[in-house]
Chains A and B, each alone.
Chain A
Amino acid sequence: MSLFSFFKRHTSSQIAKDRLKILLISDRVNCSPEMMELIKNDIANVISKYMQIDTSSMEIQISKTGSTARNGKKLPVLYANIPILDLRN
């Protein structure tokens, strides 16, 4: 299976699918990569007030799979991975 997925990754259909997934997420929420960067910086600033975080390895992304159900439809979610260095007391 791992050998097969190695082959599969290089087919143009897989490339198309991967490109579409990223493209549609930004289309759906009307949010460009630049805007994501701004959101990331703002979140980092707010969280930094309360705890020490590692802003350099922080990640945010919009994902479809996180899904909250509303009339059975999947909603995109904003997912943030913020490493905490030290909780301030």
Chain B
Amino acid sequence: MSEVIVVTSGKGGVGKTTTSANVGTGLAEMGKSVVLIDADIGLRNLDVVMGLENRIVYNLVDVIEGNCRLKQALIKDKRHTGLFLMPAAQTRDKNCITPGQMVKLIDSLREQFDYIILDCPAGIEQGFQNAIAGADHAVVVTTPEVSAIRDADRIIGLLEANEIKKIDLVINRLRHDLIRRGEMMTVDDVLDILGLPLLGVVPDDENVVIATNQGEPLVGKNSDAGQAFFNICKRIEGKEVPFMDFGKSVTIWTRFSSLFKRNLQEERA
């Protein structure tokens, strides 16, 4: 039985594509067969994040319009067997396909794959409607910022209105130093506002930039973000994984201890 997961956020630039690439790669690393679908027609980017931009011949729109067979548009990943990418068309726009066509395409992939992961475009228009049409499970990505959380709340309302039952939250780009100073909302603050089950917390990590430069997802590698993405994959697989110990609300103790640590560092310097 395959699971169709849409990765969405409302706001652009919060990490939908990075999350899609890493979750897809992580699940493939765990031995699952996975297809990543770039639903961002006209502004595709999942191909570059995956490092597969040079292999594109056919795309999702070609499949829907019958210009090629389904298999011809599936690009095999460089490193992981069982991981495939279906790229979006770059020179078309989001209105050239319909939610009904997406559902049909997804249904034809269900037999072959354990996980079908859709990278949703930003916004709430046709592209969003296409991406969520066939999804069983939505992963809402947000950052601990007012604008991203506001858009996430709007998206959650639309997902519920479209009767997507399973909706989880990933909080991306968390900065412990800012949280410790009380200058960034904590994980608990965000959960309190959005009221969704937490699927993962990804710290802000320069390794994400490096990985994107190289076109190699960092899931499972020795970095904070890599570990956090791998934990998300395990939770999707139904395993109980404790959340990494950060993002706790600021208490008197953490304030004192951070002050103490800072003094120690200064003394050493």
Contact = CB atoms under 8 A, between A and B. Distances in A.
Interface of A: 4, 7-8, 11-14, 16-17, 19-21, 23-24, 27-28, 74
Contact of B153 (A11, A14, A27): A27
Contacts of A17: 185, 189, 193
Contacts of B52: none
A28 B195 CA distance: 14
Interface string B137-159: 00000000110011001100100
A12 B150 contact: no
A74 B193 CA distance: 12
Nearest to A12: B183
Interface residues of B, number: 20
Q: Is the interface of B mostly helix, strand, loop or mixed?
A: helix
B195 A20 contact: no
B195 A16 contact: no
Contacts, number: 43
Which of A7, A13, A17 neighbours the largest number of chain B CB atoms within 10 Å of its CB? Answer: A13
B193 A4 contact: no
Nearest to B194: A24
Contact of B195 (A4, A12, A74): A74
A17 B146 CA distance: 8
Interface in B148-202: 149-150, 153-154, 157, 178-179, 181-186, 189, 193, 195
A23 B189 CA distance: 15
Contacts of A28: 153, 157
A81 B41 CA distance: 50
Given A17-B193, A21-B193, A74-B195, A11 B182 contact: yes
A43 B179 CA distance: 43
A83 to B, nearest CB: 32
Tell which of B150, B182, B252 has the most Cβ of chain A within 10 Å. B182
B250 interface: yes
